[in-house]
Homo-oligomer: A and B are copies of this chain.
């Protein structure tokens, strides 16, 4: 299913479901101006074609005791495929690393990391990430505050 096959109603559905994944079908149908049946049909189609990938609950980081979030710029010791693969494989097993992106620019990877506090973050960086053999260096950006964190992508 290409984007060309998405009409205005589909766009609106995606927008609403991104910001509220638990809206009832009845309410959803009201907001887009269709009856429940075709509304559900459209949503199911978006799910089946993989345009809607999944649904997630978002939890309050601070309230569950995760006070620290950081971005870590990682530079590897080389750029051979085996080195990258080795790094990624290790990363996957670390639950505190919630994002790992291969990027262009002055570093190789950018990680998003969460931890209970600075002390446990330091332990994680020093005893887990910096201990990976292929990691040459890391540079941390601690998040002081977050001004925007929307789950709604602006569909073109």
A35 interface residue (CB < 8 Å to B): no
Q: Which residues of A contact B (CB under 8 A)?
A: 1-3, 6, 14, 17-22, 49-61, 63-66, 71, 88, 91-92, 95-107, 110, 114, 116, 120, 139-156
Chain B nearest CB from A127 CB (Å) reads 16
Cα separation A1 to B99 with both chains bound (whole Å): 28
By a CB distance below 8 angstroms, the chain B residues around A64 are 3, 6, 14, 51, 153, 155-156
By a CB distance below 8 angstroms, the chain B residues around A61 are 153
Cα separation A75 to B43 with both chains bound (whole Å): 41
Asked whether, in the complex, the Cβ of B19 is within 8 Å of the Cβ of A56, the reply is yes
From B2, B142, B153, contact of A105 by CB (8 A): B142
Asked whether, in the complex, the Cβ of A60 is within 8 Å of the Cβ of B51, the reply is yes
Cα separation A102 to B149 with both chains bound (whole Å): 12
Chain B nearest CB from A140 CB (Å) reads 7
By a CB distance below 8 angstroms, the chain B residues around A1 are 63
Asked whether, in the complex, the Cβ of A53 is within 8 Å of the Cβ of B49, the reply is no
By a CB distance below 8 angstroms, the chain B residues around A153 are 59, 61, 64, 66, 98, 114
From B56, B92, B107, contact of A18 by CB (8 A): B56
Chain B nearest CB from A38 CB (Å) reads 18
Which of A6, A63, A100 has the largest count of B CB atoms less than 10 A from its CB? A63
From B55, B146, B148, B154, contact of A57 by CB (8 A): B55
Asked whether, in the complex, the Cβ of B71 is within 8 Å of the Cβ of A144, the reply is no
Asked whether, in the complex, the Cβ of A148 is within 8 Å of the Cβ of B100, the reply is yes
